[in-house]
Amino acid sequence: MTHPFIVDAHLDLSMNAMEWNRDLRQSLEEINRREAGMTDKPDRGNATISFAELRKGNVGLVVATQIARYIFPGQPRPGWHSPEQAWAQTQGQLAWYKLMEEAGEMTMIRTKSELEAHLALWNNNDPVDSKPIGYLLSIEGADSIVRVDFLERAYQYGLRAVGPAHYGSGRYANGTDSSGRLNAMGVDLLKEMDRLGMILDVTHLNDDAFWHALEIYKGPVWASHNNCRVFVDHNRQFSDDMIRALIERDAVIGVALDAWMMVPNWIRGKSTPKGMNCTMDIMAENVDHICQLAGNGNHVGIGSDLDGAFGTEQCPYDLKTIADLQKLPVLLREKGYTQETIHKIASGNFIEFMRRAI
Protein backbone atom coordinates (compact mmCIF):
# COMPACT_ATOMS: atom_id res chain seq x y z
CA MET A 1 0.00 0.00 0.00
CA THR A 2 1.29 3.49 -0.85
CA HIS A 3 2.15 5.93 1.90
CA PRO A 4 -1.07 7.89 2.49
CA PHE A 5 -1.10 11.61 3.14
CA ILE A 6 -1.14 12.20 6.91
CA VAL A 7 -2.64 14.95 9.05
CA ASP A 8 -1.19 15.20 12.56
CA ALA A 9 -3.65 17.13 14.71
CA HIS A 10 -1.26 18.04 17.52
CA LEU A 11 2.38 19.10 17.29
CA ASP A 12 4.12 21.58 19.60
CA LEU A 13 6.50 22.79 16.89
CA SER A 14 7.04 26.33 18.17
CA MET A 15 7.63 25.08 21.71
CA ASN A 16 10.40 22.87 20.38
CA ALA A 17 11.91 25.80 18.54
CA MET A 18 11.58 28.45 21.23
CA GLU A 19 11.97 26.54 24.51
CA TRP A 20 13.92 23.45 23.47
CA ASN A 21 16.01 25.55 21.04
CA ARG A 22 15.67 23.07 18.18
CA ASP A 23 16.13 24.23 14.60
CA LEU A 24 13.66 21.99 12.82
CA ARG A 25 15.27 22.79 9.46
CA GLN A 26 18.23 20.68 10.53
CA SER A 27 18.29 16.93 10.14
CA LEU A 28 16.98 14.89 13.05
CA GLU A 29 20.44 13.45 13.52
CA GLU A 30 21.92 16.93 13.87
CA ILE A 31 19.18 18.07 16.28
CA ASN A 32 19.87 15.12 18.55
CA ARG A 33 23.66 15.36 18.16
CA ARG A 34 23.61 18.96 19.40
CA GLU A 35 21.75 17.84 22.53
CA ALA A 36 24.24 15.15 23.51
CA GLY A 37 25.04 15.42 27.21
CA MET A 38 22.29 17.97 27.95
CA THR A 39 20.10 17.22 30.97
CA ASP A 40 17.84 20.27 31.32
CA LYS A 41 14.94 18.45 29.62
CA PRO A 42 14.07 14.76 30.04
CA ASP A 43 13.93 14.16 26.28
CA ARG A 44 17.25 15.70 25.25
CA GLY A 45 18.78 13.78 22.36
CA ASN A 46 15.55 11.87 21.79
CA ALA A 47 13.73 14.15 19.34
CA THR A 48 11.58 12.59 16.61
CA ILE A 49 10.63 15.65 14.54
CA SER A 50 12.27 17.75 11.86
CA PHE A 51 10.78 19.25 8.74
CA ALA A 52 12.61 16.63 6.68
CA GLU A 53 11.11 13.79 8.72
CA LEU A 54 7.62 15.27 8.37
CA ARG A 55 8.04 15.28 4.60
CA LYS A 56 9.55 11.79 4.62
CA GLY A 57 6.43 10.56 6.41
CA ASN A 58 4.09 12.44 4.00
CA VAL A 59 2.84 14.45 6.99
CA GLY A 60 1.91 17.50 4.96
CA LEU A 61 -0.68 19.12 7.22
CA VAL A 62 -0.54 19.58 10.99
CA VAL A 63 -2.32 21.36 13.78
CA ALA A 64 0.52 23.34 15.32
CA THR A 65 0.30 24.92 18.73
CA GLN A 66 1.05 27.95 20.73
CA ILE A 67 1.47 27.06 24.39
CA ALA A 68 2.33 29.10 27.48
CA ARG A 69 0.91 28.26 30.89
CA TYR A 70 0.16 30.79 33.62
CA ILE A 71 0.85 29.43 37.10
CA PHE A 72 -0.91 30.62 40.22
CA PRO A 73 1.32 31.31 43.24
CA GLY A 74 2.31 28.04 44.87
CA GLN A 75 1.61 25.84 41.85
CA PRO A 76 4.37 23.27 41.33
CA ARG A 77 4.24 23.16 37.53
CA PRO A 78 6.47 25.32 35.32
CA GLY A 79 4.93 28.36 33.71
CA TRP A 80 4.71 32.14 33.58
CA HIS A 81 3.93 34.39 36.52
CA SER A 82 1.47 36.61 34.67
CA PRO A 83 -0.93 36.17 31.74
CA GLU A 84 0.87 39.02 29.99
CA GLN A 85 4.17 37.12 30.09
CA ALA A 86 2.42 34.02 28.80
CA TRP A 87 0.86 36.03 25.96
CA ALA A 88 4.27 37.44 25.04
CA GLN A 89 5.66 33.90 24.90
CA THR A 90 2.94 32.85 22.46
CA GLN A 91 3.72 35.90 20.31
CA GLY A 92 7.35 34.80 20.11
CA GLN A 93 6.12 31.39 19.01
CA LEU A 94 3.92 33.05 16.38
CA ALA A 95 6.94 35.01 15.12
CA TRP A 96 8.81 31.73 14.63
CA TYR A 97 5.96 30.26 12.59
CA LYS A 98 5.91 33.38 10.41
CA LEU A 99 9.67 33.15 9.84
CA MET A 100 9.29 29.50 8.85
CA GLU A 101 6.67 30.63 6.34
CA GLU A 102 9.14 33.14 4.90
CA ALA A 103 11.73 30.37 4.67
CA GLY A 104 9.31 28.21 2.68
CA GLU A 105 9.09 25.54 5.38
CA MET A 106 5.49 26.13 6.46
CA THR A 107 2.26 27.74 5.28
CA MET A 108 -0.63 28.82 7.50
CA ILE A 109 -4.13 27.47 6.84
CA ARG A 110 -6.83 29.97 7.87
CA THR A 111 -9.59 29.44 5.32
CA LYS A 112 -11.13 26.66 3.29
CA SER A 113 -9.62 28.07 0.10
CA GLU A 114 -6.14 28.01 1.66
CA LEU A 115 -6.77 24.44 2.74
CA GLU A 116 -7.79 23.35 -0.74
CA ALA A 117 -4.82 25.09 -2.34
CA HIS A 118 -2.44 23.38 0.06
CA LEU A 119 -3.96 19.95 -0.53
CA ALA A 120 -3.70 20.48 -4.29
CA LEU A 121 -0.02 21.35 -3.87
CA TRP A 122 0.66 18.15 -1.96
CA ASN A 123 -1.30 16.10 -4.49
CA ASN A 124 0.78 17.22 -7.49
CA ASN A 125 3.86 15.35 -8.69
CA ASP A 126 6.48 17.84 -7.53
CA PRO A 127 9.16 16.54 -5.13
CA VAL A 128 7.92 16.46 -1.53
CA ASP A 129 11.10 18.10 -0.23
CA SER A 130 10.11 21.33 -1.98
CA LYS A 131 6.68 21.55 -0.33
CA PRO A 132 5.84 23.55 2.81
CA ILE A 133 4.17 21.89 5.78
CA GLY A 134 0.65 23.29 6.13
CA TYR A 135 -0.45 24.24 9.62
CA LEU A 136 -3.68 25.23 11.29
CA LEU A 137 -2.84 27.24 14.40
CA SER A 138 -4.17 26.08 17.76
CA ILE A 139 -3.52 27.06 21.35
CA GLU A 140 -3.06 24.45 24.07
CA GLY A 141 -4.43 25.96 27.27
CA ALA A 142 -6.02 29.42 27.13
CA ASP A 143 -4.14 30.90 30.10
CA SER A 144 -2.19 33.26 27.83
CA ILE A 145 -5.38 34.88 26.52
CA VAL A 146 -5.02 37.92 28.80
CA ARG A 147 -8.70 38.85 28.52
CA VAL A 148 -11.50 37.38 26.47
CA ASP A 149 -11.27 40.31 24.04
CA PHE A 150 -7.70 39.20 23.19
CA LEU A 151 -9.23 36.21 21.44
CA GLU A 152 -10.28 38.30 18.45
CA ARG A 153 -6.69 39.57 18.12
CA ALA A 154 -5.58 35.94 18.02
CA TYR A 155 -8.23 35.05 15.46
CA GLN A 156 -7.03 37.91 13.26
CA TYR A 157 -3.45 36.59 13.24
CA GLY A 158 -4.68 33.09 12.37
CA LEU A 159 -5.65 31.19 15.54
CA ARG A 160 -8.43 28.77 14.67
CA ALA A 161 -8.64 26.23 17.54
CA VAL A 162 -8.57 26.68 21.32
CA GLY A 163 -8.07 24.17 24.10
CA PRO A 164 -9.25 26.04 27.22
CA ALA A 165 -7.25 23.95 29.70
CA HIS A 166 -3.96 22.11 30.05
CA TYR A 167 -2.77 20.49 33.29
CA GLY A 168 -4.22 21.43 36.67
CA SER A 169 -6.00 24.67 37.48
CA GLY A 170 -6.32 27.22 34.71
CA ARG A 171 -7.59 30.77 34.34
CA TYR A 172 -10.56 29.73 32.19
CA ALA A 173 -10.96 26.02 32.88
CA ASN A 174 -9.39 23.24 34.89
CA GLY A 175 -7.61 20.45 33.10
CA THR A 176 -5.96 17.10 33.63
CA ASP A 177 -5.75 15.96 37.27
CA SER A 178 -8.29 18.52 38.48
CA SER A 179 -12.04 18.92 38.81
CA GLY A 180 -14.71 21.58 38.44
CA ARG A 181 -16.80 23.06 35.64
CA LEU A 182 -15.83 26.06 33.53
CA ASN A 183 -15.65 29.29 35.50
CA ALA A 184 -17.42 32.49 34.41
CA MET A 185 -14.42 33.57 32.33
CA GLY A 186 -14.40 30.17 30.66
CA VAL A 187 -18.06 30.47 29.74
CA ASP A 188 -17.39 33.90 28.24
CA LEU A 189 -14.40 32.49 26.35
CA LEU A 190 -16.56 29.82 24.72
CA LYS A 191 -19.18 32.40 23.81
CA GLU A 192 -16.54 34.49 22.07
CA MET A 193 -15.12 31.42 20.33
CA ASP A 194 -18.62 30.64 19.11
CA ARG A 195 -19.04 34.18 17.79
CA LEU A 196 -15.75 33.99 15.93
CA GLY A 197 -16.43 30.49 14.57
CA MET A 198 -13.49 28.77 16.23
CA ILE A 199 -12.87 25.09 16.97
CA LEU A 200 -13.17 23.95 20.58
CA ASP A 201 -10.47 21.43 21.47
CA VAL A 202 -11.74 19.43 24.46
CA THR A 203 -8.37 17.74 24.99
CA HIS A 204 -7.17 18.14 28.59
CA LEU A 205 -10.52 19.31 29.96
CA ASN A 206 -11.30 17.44 33.18
CA ASP A 207 -14.50 15.42 33.18
CA ASP A 208 -16.62 18.17 34.77
CA ALA A 209 -15.41 20.82 32.35
CA PHE A 210 -15.71 18.45 29.38
CA TRP A 211 -19.43 17.88 29.94
CA HIS A 212 -20.02 21.55 30.76
CA ALA A 213 -18.27 22.64 27.55
CA LEU A 214 -20.29 20.26 25.39
CA GLU A 215 -23.45 21.50 27.06
CA ILE A 216 -22.88 25.15 26.25
CA TYR A 217 -20.70 25.24 23.13
CA LYS A 218 -22.56 25.37 19.84
CA GLY A 219 -19.64 25.41 17.40
CA PRO A 220 -17.34 22.69 16.03
CA VAL A 221 -15.63 20.40 18.55
CA TRP A 222 -12.64 18.11 18.23
CA ALA A 223 -10.12 16.39 20.49
CA SER A 224 -6.68 16.92 19.00
CA HIS A 225 -4.81 14.33 21.08
CA ASN A 226 -6.65 11.94 23.38
CA ASN A 227 -6.65 8.19 23.99
CA CYS A 228 -9.14 5.75 25.46
CA ARG A 229 -9.66 5.32 29.20
CA VAL A 230 -10.54 1.66 28.70
CA PHE A 231 -6.82 0.99 28.11
CA VAL A 232 -5.30 3.45 30.62
CA ASP A 233 -7.66 4.31 33.46
CA HIS A 234 -6.73 7.94 34.03
CA ASN A 235 -8.65 11.20 33.68
CA ARG A 236 -6.32 12.30 30.85
CA GLN A 237 -8.07 9.72 28.63
CA PHE A 238 -11.68 9.65 27.44
CA SER A 239 -14.27 7.28 28.85
CA ASP A 240 -16.49 5.47 26.37
CA ASP A 241 -19.35 7.81 27.27
CA MET A 242 -17.18 10.82 26.44
CA ILE A 243 -16.15 9.27 23.13
CA ARG A 244 -19.79 8.57 22.27
CA ALA A 245 -20.72 12.17 23.10
CA LEU A 246 -18.01 13.43 20.73
CA ILE A 247 -19.19 11.09 18.01
CA GLU A 248 -22.68 12.56 18.41
CA ARG A 249 -21.15 16.03 17.88
CA ASP A 250 -19.47 14.82 14.66
CA ALA A 251 -16.07 15.33 16.27
CA VAL A 252 -12.74 13.76 15.35
CA ILE A 253 -10.42 12.39 18.03
CA GLY A 254 -6.66 12.35 17.39
CA VAL A 255 -4.90 9.36 18.97
CA ALA A 256 -1.64 10.24 20.75
CA LEU A 257 1.73 8.54 21.17
CA ASP A 258 2.81 9.53 24.69
CA ALA A 259 3.64 6.19 26.32
CA TRP A 260 2.06 7.02 29.68
CA MET A 261 -1.24 7.44 27.83
CA MET A 262 -0.79 4.11 26.04
CA VAL A 263 0.20 1.60 28.72
CA PRO A 264 -1.01 1.45 32.33
CA ASN A 265 1.31 1.99 35.29
CA TRP A 266 3.90 3.99 33.37
CA ILE A 267 6.37 5.67 35.75
CA ARG A 268 7.92 8.79 34.28
CA GLY A 269 11.70 8.68 34.21
CA LYS A 270 11.80 5.00 35.14
CA SER A 271 9.65 3.02 32.72
CA THR A 272 11.01 2.32 29.25
CA PRO A 273 9.06 1.67 26.05
CA LYS A 274 10.58 -1.78 25.59
CA GLY A 275 10.20 -2.65 29.26
CA MET A 276 6.49 -1.78 29.07
CA ASN A 277 6.06 -3.33 25.60
CA CYS A 278 4.81 -0.03 24.22
CA THR A 279 4.44 -0.36 20.45
CA MET A 280 2.58 1.29 17.61
CA ASP A 281 0.04 -1.52 17.78
CA ILE A 282 -1.36 0.14 20.92
CA MET A 283 -2.08 3.22 18.81
CA ALA A 284 -3.94 0.98 16.37
CA GLU A 285 -5.91 -0.53 19.28
CA ASN A 286 -7.01 2.94 20.41
CA VAL A 287 -8.03 3.80 16.86
CA ASP A 288 -9.96 0.56 16.55
CA HIS A 289 -11.75 1.09 19.87
CA ILE A 290 -13.06 4.48 18.74
CA CYS A 291 -14.14 2.99 15.41
CA GLN A 292 -16.00 0.19 17.19
CA LEU A 293 -17.86 2.70 19.38
CA ALA A 294 -18.74 4.79 16.32
CA GLY A 295 -19.62 1.87 14.10
CA ASN A 296 -17.47 3.42 11.39
CA GLY A 297 -14.07 5.02 10.77
CA ASN A 298 -15.25 8.62 10.53
CA HIS A 299 -14.35 10.00 13.95
CA VAL A 300 -10.70 9.19 14.60
CA GLY A 301 -7.36 10.38 13.29
CA ILE A 302 -3.80 11.05 14.41
CA GLY A 303 -2.83 13.61 17.05
CA SER A 304 0.58 12.23 17.88
CA ASP A 305 1.81 14.86 20.37
CA LEU A 306 5.31 13.72 19.42
CA ASP A 307 8.06 15.81 20.98
CA GLY A 308 5.48 17.36 23.28
CA ALA A 309 8.09 17.39 26.08
CA PHE A 310 8.89 13.72 25.42
CA GLY A 311 10.74 11.80 22.73
CA THR A 312 11.85 8.26 21.99
CA GLU A 313 12.33 7.63 25.71
CA GLN A 314 8.54 7.86 26.13
CA CYS A 315 6.86 6.72 22.94
CA PRO A 316 6.47 3.37 21.13
CA TYR A 317 9.84 1.72 20.73
CA ASP A 318 9.12 0.88 17.09
CA LEU A 319 8.87 4.61 16.30
CA LYS A 320 12.16 6.45 15.80
CA THR A 321 10.93 9.49 13.86
CA ILE A 322 7.58 11.03 13.03
CA ALA A 323 7.94 9.46 9.60
CA ASP A 324 7.13 6.16 11.32
CA LEU A 325 3.51 7.29 11.56
CA GLN A 326 3.31 5.46 8.24
CA LYS A 327 3.38 2.22 10.25
CA LEU A 328 -0.17 2.90 11.47
CA PRO A 329 -1.82 2.34 8.05
CA VAL A 330 -0.01 -1.00 7.78
CA LEU A 331 -1.24 -2.07 11.22
CA LEU A 332 -4.80 -1.05 10.38
CA ARG A 333 -4.64 -2.98 7.12
CA GLU A 334 -3.58 -6.04 9.11
CA LYS A 335 -6.68 -5.55 11.29
CA GLY A 336 -8.87 -5.72 8.21
CA TYR A 337 -9.47 -2.03 7.59
CA THR A 338 -10.14 -1.05 3.99
CA GLN A 339 -7.89 1.36 2.14
CA GLU A 340 -10.72 3.91 2.04
CA THR A 341 -11.13 3.86 5.82
CA ILE A 342 -7.38 3.93 6.38
CA HIS A 343 -7.13 7.09 4.30
CA LYS A 344 -9.93 8.65 6.38
CA ILE A 345 -8.03 7.87 9.58
CA ALA A 346 -4.67 9.01 8.20
CA SER A 347 -5.98 12.37 7.03
CA GLY A 348 -9.46 12.42 5.55
CA ASN A 349 -11.44 12.80 8.75
CA PHE A 350 -9.52 15.84 9.95
CA ILE A 351 -9.50 17.33 6.45
CA GLU A 352 -13.28 17.02 6.17
CA PHE A 353 -13.65 18.52 9.65
CA MET A 354 -11.51 21.50 8.65
CA ARG A 355 -13.55 21.97 5.49
CA ARG A 356 -16.66 22.30 7.64
CA ALA A 357 -15.14 24.39 10.42
CA ILE A 358 -12.85 27.05 8.92
Enumerate domains of the chain plus CATH numbers: 6-357 (3.20.20.140)
Using an 8 Å Cβ cutoff, are 145 and 87 in contact?
Answer: yes
- Give pTM, 2 decimals: 0.97
Using an 8 Å Cβ cutoff, are 143 and 154 in contact?
Answer: no
Give the tens place of pLDDT for each residue, 263-292. 999 999 899 999 999 999 999 999 999 999
Separation between Cα atoms, residue 212 and residue 219, nearest integer Å = 14
Give the tens place of pLDDT for each residue, 202-226. 999 999 999 999 999 999 999 999 9
What 3-state DSSP class applies to 222? strand
| Strand spans (E) along the chain | 6-11, 59-66, 106-108, 133-140, 159-163, 199-201, 221-222, 253-255, 300-302
pLDDT surpasses 80 at 1 = no
Q: Where are the alpha helices (DSSP H) in 197-254?
A: 207-216, 240-248
